Chain A
Amino acid sequence: MFSYLIRRVISAVILLLIVSAVTFGIFFLLPKIAGQTTDQLAQQYIGKSPTPADIAAVKRNLGLDKPVYEQYWEFLKGIFTGVDYKFGPEAARCHVPCFGYSFKTHIEVWPEIRSRLPVTLSLAVGAAVVWLVSGITTGVISALRPGSLFDRLSMGVALAGVSLPMFFTGAIALALFTYQWPIFERSDYVPLFDNPFLWARTLVLPWVTLAFLYSALYARLTRAGMLETLSEDYIRTARAKGLGERTVVVRHGLRAALTPLITVFGMDLGLLLGGALITEQVFSLQGVGAFAVQAITANDLPNILGVTLLAAFFIVLCNLVVDVLYAAVDPRVRLS
């Protein structure tokens, strides 16, 4: 088990390195290949009407004149040690982890992202709890009575949930519960530890909207998994032992049926932690997703790079957790 864990961690680190290299390459190597000069790149840091001297200074200070692989190495080093930039007389310290400076605002990338992380975390984790509870419950009940009114109704709703886009359901939710009946008034994000009640109240609508999409998917997955598991031989054995139907379904059925869901869940949560772009836009939440959208519209390469790497980090991390969890749940995985 220990060796399995180490192996997974090492492969996760390697994966992250590859992702960072590829992303870095896309941002700094591809434009070069396409004909962009380092001057043009440096110009982006300065803004309008730069003098050639400014450009040369920026190039030197940021190391833009070095080969791309060296820049990548500096970038990597910066993440772990921080970087000192010299702009004329004053030296600016980019703290660990240093993802560089924004082209536009000249603010360090990481503190910006970090300040937005709680919003995204609250949104993603809260929504995940909602969709896990509602999705799995619906799925199990449907599976226990396939063909019943509940089953057909909930699967119909689930189909709608899967097919309706976020910006549509989100807009409808806002229109109904904020403007028509102001149950959840529009307000800015309130940190959890400042006022838990307000924190929750701000987020209920985004949670539910986001969870609607996912619960639909999870209800269908749970239902299918349960139906398959309930026809397994070991379920028949459990019944033959004289166990109550509740024990059979929960202890013997659900556990096996939910195991494959772990994989899907890890992937979904990882993706969301990297920023729920549309949800944050629709509900005007200043999370990582909104930050990403702004960075992309502004063509702010360092910010885009930072967000991309963060998203990749979360996905890799969640997958790592999933693999370990899977081994913990299914003893057969441990050996092979």
Chain B
Amino acid sequence: MTDSDDTASGAPKPPGEGAPFLDVRDLKVHFPTDDGLVKSVDGLSFTLEKGKTLGIVGESGSGKSVTSLAVMGLHRASRRQRATVRMSGEIRLDGQELIGADPDEVRRLRGRRMAMIFQDPLSALHPYYTVGKQIVEAYRVHHDVDKKTARKRAIEMLDRVGIPQPDKRVDDHPHQFSGGMRQRAMIAMALVNNPELLIADEPTTALDVTVQAQILDLIRDLQKEFGSAVIVITHDLGVVAELADDLLVMYGGRCVERGPADKIFEAPQHPYTWGLLGSMPRIDRDHTDRLIPVKGSPPSLINVPSGCAFNPRCPYADVPKDDLTRTVRPELTEATTGHFSACHMAPAERKRIWTEEIAPKL
């Protein structure tokens, strides 16, 4: 997120020195269905460096989870999946192209150089195997060690993520763990091979607030310790504010706004981001006014509205002249350094609306 080329137009850099650790360009993930082509992700570009955290924010159907699975190569892991997805664009992990790569090669990267934490640890852990066995399995796929060594490593990892009596709990089944412990075990499993990229898909959505706080702290600590690149995917702006250095807001399979988290929270540029902020009740503010919801419902990914996908729900759709919002799809443009947004309104206009109309009501 540090470089300035925004869309696929820029020439790809050679792998190695200078190239970002994770470089996603013009990623498209489409699923042909009986009802039509579902464009879950439709031209998404971003970069991420080691040691940094990128937050991807969006509602259900925005394409945020599909993006993460695409990076992990999980849309193409089995023959069956490969038949049901169309992917294009580039995903480069440390210079290595993943989209066109041999699925088996991507498989060898999975779990070793890039790992993932899922939303609901109860359903994401296999109910029949002990927690220890599942971690051991993850370690031994990529390391040629005997079971004993792997088990020692599993206990070490459980200890590291804060599970009490790890040498005993290692033989428990997932259902014997509490929700928070399960997510810790999941994290232990993801980190067992010291991955350089960690993707956390709604890591705390299924958890209670006090446990969520523990897990967010844990992720932050572990990142500092391992220096890995982290992608946090969530619908909760609060969670990204806790973790993320950079932010990417998705709507209808595309990025509508991205930039440093500080800048976005201070002065968001896109009407959809305003809508998200206005929709959220705030615990830190006592206001009796009504919330400012976004009208309507999220767009169909089969018939994405023409022009700006957000136009049917945007209160400012008529501000730009010549019906631009409904005919021309806005490109990401840089408003301030490193802060991009895809909106037809002029940056000055957006700034005025934010400071005069939106911010005072939040």
Contacts and interface: CB of A to CB of B under 8 A. Distances in A.
Nearest to B104: A244
A285 to B, nearest CB: 39
Given A241-B138, A241-B141, A330 B112 contact: no
B127 interface: yes
A329 interface: yes
Given A233-B120, A242-B109, A245-B77, A332 B127 contact: yes
Interface string A242-255: 11110010001001
A240 B113 CA distance: 11
B173 interface: yes
Given A241-B110, A241-B111, A242-B141, A256 B126 contact: yes
Contact of A233 (B108, B111, B123): B123
A232 B141 CA distance: 21
Contacts of A80: none
Interface in B77-99: 77-80
Contacts of A239: 74, 77-78, 107, 110
Interface string A140-179: 0000111000000000000000000000000000000000
B126 A238 contact: yes
Interface string A114-133: 00000000000000000000
Interface in A222-236: 230, 232-234, 236
A234 B80 CA distance: 17
A331 interface: yes
Given A233-B118, A245-B77, A245-B78, A240 B110 contact: yes
Interface in A196-243: 230, 232-234, 236-243
Given A233-B120, A236-B118, A239-B77, A332 B173 contact: yes
A256 B124 contact: no
A236 B186 CA distance: 13
B128 A329 contact: yes
Contact of A331 (B110, B116, B175): B175
Contacts of A144: 78-80
B137 interface: yes
Contact of B107 (A234, A236, A244): A244
B142 interface: yes
B278 to A, nearest CB: 33
B188 interface: no
Contacts of B125: 234, 237
Contacts, number: 84
Nearest to B113: A242
A331 to B, nearest CB: 5
Contacts of B123: 232-234
Contacts of B173: 331-332
Range, interface on chain A = 20 to 34
Chain A interface helix/strand/loop/mixed: helix
Interface string A306-336: 0000000000000000000000011110010
Contact of A237 (B80, B112, B126): B126
Nearest to B173: A331
Interface string B141-183: 1100000000000000000000000000000010110000000
Contacts of A241: 110-111, 115, 137-138, 141, 189
A139 B22 CA distance: 40
Contact of A242 (B111, B124, B186): B111
B44 interface: no
A238 B176 CA distance: 20
B124 A234 contact: yes
Contacts of B115: 240-241
B142 A242 contact: yes
A286 to B, nearest CB: 43
Interface in A82-101: none
A330 B175 CA distance: 11
B72 interface: yes
B207 to A, nearest CB: 16
Given A241-B111, A241-B137, A244-B107, A236 B80 contact: no
User: For A236, A239, A243, which residue has the most chain B Cβ atoms within 10 angstroms?
Assistant: A239
Contact of B111 (A146, A240, A245, A330): A240
Contacts of A244: 107, 141
Contacts of A256: 126-128
Contacts of A238: 126
A237 B137 contact: no
Given A145-B80, A242-B142, A237 B118 contact: yes
Given A244-B107, A245-B77, A237 B124 contact: yes
B124 A236 contact: yes
Given A243-B141, A252-B126, A331-B127, 15 more contacts: A146-B80, A233-B118, A234-B123, A236-B124, A239-B74, A240-B116, A241-B110, A241-B137, A242-B138, A245-B77, A255-B128, A329-B128, A331-B128, A331-B173, A332-B175
Interface of A: 144-146, 230, 232-234, 236-245, 248, 252, 255-256, 329-332, 335
Interface of B: 69, 72, 74, 77-80, 107-112, 115-116, 118, 120, 123-128, 137-138, 141-142, 173, 175-176, 186, 189
Q: Would you list the 3 A-B pairs with minimal beta carbon distance, nearest first? A: A242-B111, A242-B110, A233-B123
